[in-house]
Structure 1
Amino acid sequence: MNLTLKDIFSVSLILFSVIDIIGAIPIIINLRQKHGSIESGKATIYSGIIMFLFLFVGSNILKLFGVDVTSFAAAGALIMFFLGLEMVLGVEIFKSEPDESNAKSTMVPLVFPLIAGAGTMTTLISLRAEFGKWDIGVGILINLIVIYLVLRSSSLISRILGPSGLMVARKMFGIILLAIAIKLAKKSFGME
């Protein structure tokens, strides 16, 4: 096990910018308002499991299903696009299953694609070419701590912004999410 502080710092910053949990705060608040609550601990754990799984066997899993990283990124872009449409238009696309509790129904858009989405997964595959697995693992753990803290404090942030601030933030970040989804799709289809 060979850990390098500089590499851990680099990996942490790269993952932090790709996951963009701070930029996702309006989306998280929107999900909390829509479903009543978010299971912060479970969402963080599920995200961590997906990230670590993808770090160690991600490219093999995609190969097993005959899916390339580009197609995976395009699928993640579609989910992000529909999530952005929900926010901007005020429609419900991600419907809860009848037997799901409200908190459980937030896991799909929250864990994937928001936290451990296609961008995060493709970044993890790319990081393996430059950094050691242990450095990347510690970088993932650092990001999971930040993710948990943001998820836990989203109701406080919601109270600070108030209803009008939340509505403006939701619409604005919905448009940004649509733009990110379109950019990711363009890159996936080689149009950039």
Structure 2
Amino acid sequence: MNSKFRPQQTRDDTRINTEIRSPRIRVIDDNGEPVGIMTVSDALARAEAASLDLVEIAPTADPPVCRIMDYGKFKYEKSKKAKEAKKKQHVMHLKEIKLHPGTDDHDFNFKLEHARKFLIKGDRVKATIVFRGREITHIDLGQEVLNRMTAGLIDLCTIELAAKMEGRNMISIFVPDKLKIKEVLKKMESEKKKLIEGDFVEDVVDTDDSE
């Protein structure tokens, strides 16, 4: 808990106790209150009297800022926050949507909706037009389907890879655009609000008419 138990350099390069090099430092006590500028030896004596550590929290300040605290607890809380932040980070995956030159409207719209959900979630989308048998002789039909997919997604993304043949398949890759997605979600929320307000007005009118 204090310098007697922690004489070695800490792994994350944070200087504590006797590792602090500056002869004079600005000290904050264990309650978060500023103490003022003092020598490292005086600050160490104060920390040891409280069975705590002297931790350098702003090494580039002039003079460096150090705080009296339980370094073990500080390191644990710091690690805990880092893990929580990592959990909240979204890992971008590549989701594939497969279509054919002859994909009907119902199937196309179903897959388009899934692709939009993937983008809103933060994943990249790979649209693949699969040419089966003699369909390969009608690449233009596959291009039309891919163009429709692009038109249905462009308000949520940017195009990472434009239409390109890959073996017997034609592919495009779309990357979510946070600003575009934010605008679309904002618009959806606004339309939903208007719809709810419209239903409310109709209910009021119906009630008045019944009277």
- Normalising TM by the smaller chain, what interval? under 0.3
- Structure with the higher helix share, 1 or 2: 1
Q: Relative contact order, CA 8 A, sep 6+: which one is greater? A: 1
What is the TM-score of this pair, normalised by structure 2?
0.22
Q: Which has the larger radius of gyration?
A: 2
